[in-house]
Amino acid sequence: MRKATTLSVLLLFSLFSVALSSPLKLEAYLSKSTFNIPGESPYLETYLQINGNSIVYEANNTGKFQGSVQVTIIIRKDSSIVDFRKYELFSPEIADTLAPKEDFIDQQRFLLPNGNYSLDISLYDINNPQKPLQVELPVEIDYPVSSVSVSGVQLIESFSKTIQENVKSKSGYDFVPYVDNFFPTDKSKLTFYAEVYNPLPADENNDKILVSAYIESFESKKMLNDYVRIKREDAKPVIALFSEFDISKLPSGNYNLVVNVRNKQNKVLSQNATFFQRFNTSVAAATLDLASVNISSSFAQRYGNADTLKEHIKSLYPISTQLERMFIDNQLNASNLETMQQFFTNFWTTRNNLDPAGNWEKYRIEVLKVNNSYSTQVKKGYETDMGRVYLQYGPPDRISDVPYDAGGLLNSPSIPYQIWHYYTLNERERNKRFVFVASELMVKDYTLVHSEASGEIQNHNWQSQLTRNKSNDDMSVSPDDIKRRRDRSSTRYIID
């Protein structure tokens, strides 16, 4: 997803204790976003939330108990360190260590010129000695001086009027960040903040512009009409957008929160988005209404063999919405030919009402390419991770193929892997990579272990998992391991 800015990234750190007497493992959530101060400098914000129940508490000099986490942040550009911070982050004090502990949040700002950086984070529970965890994240900052851009979209837990300027202050409010992209049933509001920069027309006549915020389906990129905010604004150097959506009736699913700016000709000048996931038991799961789909003149009628049509429908899985995947998973095998024709018709007409047959034909050719390149003895190409990514995002702009290395790092055999690099993804994200690791040396089925793209599994420590154990020659990480590392959200992950 993007024009000129970067999306927020969500991580889950898991540091396993070395001390046998303390089974606790440190858990922390991290997100980041970027903003700009026109005429001064862009800046990066990091939002770190420590799980209060995951750290060890010790008595302090007040007679109460308190936890402490050492945080080290290093920002690099190429091989040079451009910023460095090392500090101790203290939990709220408690009187009883057996009582539930509160989570606590730390926010940092780093003034950084436009450019590409790496953000190194290290966390260490001071009261629970263990090897610190180090994670490296990419950061892209790009705020053009002479064109419109949109900041990162910051999710907000709570807010209050600013009394004294501080690191959490923006546009007269102090924002407590929502350091997550998972919204459970008990979260009925989605509050957010973003900024638009440089929306000045060339003739400087203060033309009006349209600033929009809306929720769209992550899979189909279709805007949900019940979740749209549009505001006409005077063109000025900075426009602040602070708003919220009532998501009490938003069904479970994957979504994007999108902010964009349009000129009076309705042309999108810039946009940004952030991924989030909703789990909502208060709303009944949606179902596909296929009974009303008319197939009397549909191109789907050319497929009169149920087995052939079933195979074609299965190949749609990589580009299907969650609702469509539910049909494929749970109802396809029991469906008759007419129902499958209705599903097939509905699938392609909702994507291109003018030429559904042409759209399907283009996709069918891509499926043939994927099946030819990535099929294994037990999987069709579209069922593999590589096939899914290819069909969902298109062919990568560049592939780095690293074969099996018998020597490898520290004389340990290295697992074959590939890195797919996309220069632009979904017209919103730029310079995103997908890392695939070989499941077995003799099988060309590669497992996706990390991606920088929104909504994909993320594990920025993937390089540490590329060596094979010399004693039993097993992989350091298997497909099952990757599945276990996934948490509620597809962009949340566990590093151990």
CATH number for the domain that contains residue 240: 2.60.40.3880
pTM: 0.83
- What percent of the chain is predicted at pLDDT more than 90? 67
Any domain includes 172: yes
Sort residue 4 into left (φ over 0), alpha (ψ -120 to 50) or beta. Answer: left
Domain that holds residue 150: 146-285
Judge if 315 and 425 occupy the same domain. Answer: no
Using CA atoms, how far apart are residues 229 and 191, in angstroms rounded to an integer? Answer: 12
Structure-block tokens of residue 397: 């702009």
Using CA atoms, how far apart are residues 47 and 179, in angstroms rounded to an integer? Answer: 6
Any domain includes 479: yes
Q: Model confidence over 414-448: pLDDT tens digits? A: 788 999 999 998 888 888 999 999 876 556 789 99
Judge if 304 and 412 occupy the same domain. Answer: no
Q: Long-range CB contacts (< 8 A, 24+ apart) of 448-453?
A: 448/385, 448/386, 448/389, 448/482, 449/477, 449/482, 452/9, 452/138, 453/393, 453/422, 453/425, 453/429
Query: How crowded is residue 398: how many other Cβ atoms within 10 Å of its Cβ?
Result: 10
Is the dihedral angle over the CA atoms 448, 185, 15, 31 positive or is it negative?
positive
Judge if 163 and 230 occupy the same domain. Answer: yes
Any domain includes 50: no
Given a cut of 90, whether residue 486 has pLDDT beyond it is no
Any domain includes 141: no
Judge if 307 and 194 occupy the same domain. Answer: no
Given a cut of 90, whether residue 260 has pLDDT beyond it is yes
Q: Model confidence over 223-253: pLDDT tens digits? A: 999 999 999 998 889 999 999 999 999 999 9
Q: What is the mean pLDDT of the chain?
A: 86
Judge if 367 and 435 occupy the same domain. Answer: no
Judge if 256 and 312 occupy the same domain. Answer: no
Q: Model confidence over 34-75: pLDDT tens digits? A: 999 999 999 999 999 999 999 999 999 999 999 999 999 999
Judge if 281 and 150 occupy the same domain. Answer: yes
Q: What is the CA radius of gyration of the chain?
A: 25
What would the mean pLDDT of 16-35 be, rounded to a whole number? Answer: 69
What is the per-residue pLDDT for 285?
73
**Structural domains in the chain (count):** 3
Judge if 403 and 482 occupy the same domain. Answer: yes
Using CA atoms, how far apart are residues 50 and 48, in angstroms rounded to an integer? Answer: 7
Judge if 273 and 165 occupy the same domain. Answer: yes
What is the per-residue pLDDT for 9?
36
Domain finish residue from 336, 371, 406: 371
What is the per-residue pLDDT for 467?
66
Q: What residues are paired with 477 via a beta bridge?
A: none
Any domain includes 290: no
Judge if 278 and 319 occupy the same domain. Answer: no
What is the per-residue pLDDT for 79?
87
Closest CA to 138 of 52, 32, 216: 32
Q: Long-range CB contacts (< 8 A, 24+ apart) of 300-309?
A: 300/341, 300/342, 300/344, 300/345, 301/341, 303/341, 303/344, 304/337, 306/336, 306/337, 306/340, 309/337, 309/340, 309/341, 309/344
Is the dihedral angle over the CA atoms 276, 329, 374, 376 positive or is it negative?
positive
Model confidence at 322, pLDDT cuts 50, 70, 90, reads confident
**DSSP code of 420?**
E
Q: How far is CA 350 from CA 96, 221, 337, 342, 356, in A?
A: 57, 12, 20, 12, 8
Contacts of 361 (CB under 8 A, 6+ apart): none
Alpha-helical (H) ranges within 264-355 are 306-314, 322-330, 337-349
Domain finish residue from 231, 259, 285: 285
HSE (CB half, 13 Å, CA atoms) of 80? 4
Judge if 275 and 303 occupy the same domain. Answer: no
Domain finish residue from 253, 285, 317: 285
Per DSSP bridges, beta strands 133-141 and 189-197 are: unpaired
Q: What is the largest CA-CA distance in the chain?
A: 80
Count Cβ atoms within 10 A of the Cβ of residue 164 and give its class: 0-12 exposed, 13-18 middle, 19 or more buried.
exposed
Any domain includes 486: yes
Judge if 411 and 360 occupy the same domain. Answer: no
Any domain includes 485: yes
Q: What are phi and psi of 203, to 5 degrees?
A: -90, 0
Given a cut of 80, whether residue 140 has pLDDT beyond it is yes
**Helices 337-349 and 306-314, interaxial angle, to 10°?**
40
Any domain includes 366: yes
